[in-house]
Amino acid sequence: MLNGADVQRLGAQLRRQVGFLERSCAAFDAGHRDEAIRIGTSLRVLLHDTNRSRSLLQHLGVKERIRLLSTAYPCPERRVQYFNGLVRVRLAGASTCLTAKLGDSEVKEHLSVEDWWTQIVWILRPEMGIARRDIILAAADKDGGAHVDTKLTVQYEDLIAAGAAGFVKFADRPDLPLQRLEGAHLVSLRQIGYEVLASRDVQILLSRGLTGAVAHSILG
């Protein structure tokens, strides 16, 4: 059971981590795309539980009750070789790139943390879906967010590979070379950061400063 001092301290930690997340998203939008890795680190602190550590939302006693915004298209039930449910391709003249949808998405549903965490948002090879969890943990634990590892996960390796997210060829411009879509892991992290910041339950916790048992009653 949390006492008053615990609630106050953990509430301050929530505001701190969300502040980190907001600033990293702003830096990404200003052109510092590698800041996406630090988005992944803040998300790990907020959401990931292990046998040795508890996430901040678990410490606050709200992880089982809170719901997070998903802007991802549902993954097809049939077997597919390629699926991108989270980000979009932006065509700009003779160039193209992956970009975060932010709030401009046809899909806006609120899922339990577990369903959101494990939702498949990419497929780059048959029968190997990539969930938000896979992207966040690889960025934080292996790609420099909080730790650097000599080996990345297969899913993350697929996502960071140049052209892994697809290629674009302009039919009306045969003189232009085939363009590879790159940075799928970074753009995905930016969109995931948006989802957490735009989640109504997260906004309730921040605006009302409610945690622990009080938050249970408000969120439920």
Farthest-apart Cα atoms in the chain, separation: 68
Q: Which residues pair with 179 in a beta bridge?
A: 168
Choose between 146 and 73: higher pLDDT.
Answer: 73
d(CA 154, CA 149) in angstroms, rounded, equals 13
In eight-state DSSP terms, residue 143 is B
CB proximity list for 144: less than 8 A, separation 6 or greater: 37
DSSP letter string over 156-178? HHHHHSTTTT-EE--TT-TTSPP
Q: Is residue 29 predicted with pLDDT exceeding 90?
A: yes
Q: What is residue 95's predicted lDDT score, i.e. its pLDDT?
A: 66
pLDDT exceeds cutoff 90 at 161? no
Question: Backbone phi, then psi, for 75, in 5-degree steps?
Answer: -70, 135
Q: pLDDT category, 174, cuts 50, 70, 90?
A: low
Single pTM value for the model? 0.89
